[in-house]
Structure 1
Amino acid sequence: MKPIIAERGEAIAERTPSVRWALASLSLSMLLPSLGTSIANVGLPSLAQAFNAAFQDVQWIVLAYLLAITTLIVSVGRLGDITGRRRLLLIGILLFTLASILCGVAPTLWLMIAARAVQGLGAAIMMALTMAFVGETVPKERTGSAMGLLGTMSAIGTALGPSLGGFLIAGLGWPAIFLVNVPLGVLTFVLAYRHLPADISKGRTDRKGFDLAGTLLLALTLSAYALAMTIGHGRFGLLNVALLLTAVFGTGLFVFAEARVASPLIQLTVFRNRVLTASLAMNMLVSTVMMATLVVAPFYLSRALGLNQALVGIVMSIGPVISILSGIPAGRLVDRLDAPFVVVAGLVVMAAASVAMAVLPGISGYIAAIAMLTPGYQLFQAANNTAVMADVHPDQRGVISGMLNLSRNLGLITGASVMGAVFAFSSGTPDITAAHPEAVASGMRMTFAVAAALLVVALVIAAGTYRRRALGESRVRH
Structure 2
Amino acid sequence: MEQAESVVSESSQPGITITSALAMLLAALGTSIANIALPALAEAFSAPFAQVQAVVVAYLATLTICVVIAGRLGDSRGLKPMLVAGLAIFSAASLLCAVAPNLFLLIAARALQGIGAAFLMTLAMALMRQTASEARVGRAMGLLGTVSALGTALGPSLGGLLIPLAGWRGVFWVQVPLAALALILAITILPAEPVKQRAPAVRLRSVMNRKLAPNLLVNGVVAAVMMTTLVVGPFYLGIGLGLPPAQVGFVMAVGPVISIVSGVPSGRLVDAWGSNRMLAIGLALLATGAFLLALLPNGIGVAGYVLSIMVLTPGYQLFQAANNTAALADVTKDRRGTVSGLLGLSRNIGLIAGASAMGGVFAIGVGSEELARATASAIAAGMRLTFLLAGTMMLVAIGIAFVDRKPTKRPP
1:315 counterpart residue number: 251
Partner deviation per Cα, 1:385-409 (whole Å, 9 max, x = no partner)? 4665796756873x65554333222
Instruction: Confirm or deny that 1:122 pairs with 2:116.
Output: yes
Structure 2 stretches of 5 or more lacking a match? none
In structure 1, what is the Cα distance between the partners aligned to 2:383 and 2:23?
35
Alignment partner for residue 284 of structure 1, among 200, 216, 220? 220
Q: In the comparison of the two structures, how many residue pairs are matched?
A: 402
In structure 2, what is the Cα distance between the partners aligned to 1:179 and 1:348?
40
Higher mean alpha-carbon deviation, 386-395 vs 372-381, is at: 386-395
Matches within 5 A, 1:59-208: 61-104=55-98, 113-133=107-127, 135-137=129-131, 146-165=140-159, 167-168=161-162, 177-189=171-183, 192=186, 194=189, 198-202=193-197
1:467 counterpart residue number: 406
Cα distance, 1:168 vs structure 2: 4.6
Cα distance, 1:290 vs structure 2: 1.1
Give 1:270's aligned amino acid.
Answer: V
2:351 counterpart residue number: 412
Instruction: Confirm or deny that 1:269 pairs with 2:206.
Output: yes
In structure 1, what is the Cα distance between the partners aligned to 2:116 and 2:207?
26
* 1:184–1:315 Cα change, 3 Å: closer
1:55 counterpart residue number: 47
In structure 1, what is the Cα distance between the partners aligned to 2:6 and 2:404?
35
CA RMSD, Structure 1 to Structure 2 (Å): 4.4
In structure 2, what is the Cα distance between the partners aligned to 1:359 and 1:48?
27
Cα distance, 1:347 vs structure 2: 2.3
Higher mean alpha-carbon deviation, 124-133 vs 140-149, is at: 140-149
Give 2:18's aligned amino acid.
Answer: A
* 1:97–1:420 Cα change, 3 Å: closer
8 Å CA contact 2:39, 2:234 repeated in 1: no
- Report which of the two structures shows the higher radius of gyration computed on alpha carbons: 1
Matches within 5 A, 1:35-46: 35-41=29-35
In structure 2, what is the Cα distance between the partners aligned to 1:195 and 1:349?
42
Cα distance, 1:322 vs structure 2: 2.2
Instruction: Confirm or deny that 1:376 pairs with 2:371.
Output: no
In structure 2, what is the Cα distance between the partners aligned to 1:320 and 1:54?
30
8 Å CA contact 1:102, 1:112 repeated in 2: yes
Partner deviation per Cα, 1:313-352 (whole Å, 9 max, x = no partner)? 5433322332333335445655666556544443233233
8 Å CA contact 2:95, 2:176 repeated in 1: yes
Higher mean alpha-carbon deviation, 27-36 vs 180-189, is at: 180-189
8 Å CA contact 2:36, 2:249 repeated in 1: no
Higher mean alpha-carbon deviation, 361-370 vs 14-23, is at: 14-23
8 Å CA contact 1:151, 1:378 repeated in 2: no
* 1:93–1:312 Cα change, 3 Å: closer
In structure 1, what is the Cα distance between the partners aligned to 2:90 and 2:111?
10
Structure 1 stretches of 5 or more lacking a match? 1-6, 209-262
Give 1:198's aligned amino acid.
Answer: E
Q: Percent identity?
A: 45
Look up the SS of the partner of 2:151 in the other structure. Answer: helix
Cα distance, 1:123 vs structure 2: 0.7
2:20 counterpart residue number: 26
1:241 counterpart residue number: none
8 Å CA contact 1:302, 1:308 repeated in 2: yes
Cα distance, 1:173 vs structure 2: 6.9
Give 1:452's aligned amino acid.
Answer: G
8 Å CA contact 2:35, 2:231 repeated in 1: no
* 1:451–1:140 Cα change, 3 Å: farther
8 Å CA contact 1:148, 1:382 repeated in 2: no
Cα distance, 1:371 vs structure 2: 0.7
Look up the SS of the partner of 2:93 in the other structure. Answer: helix
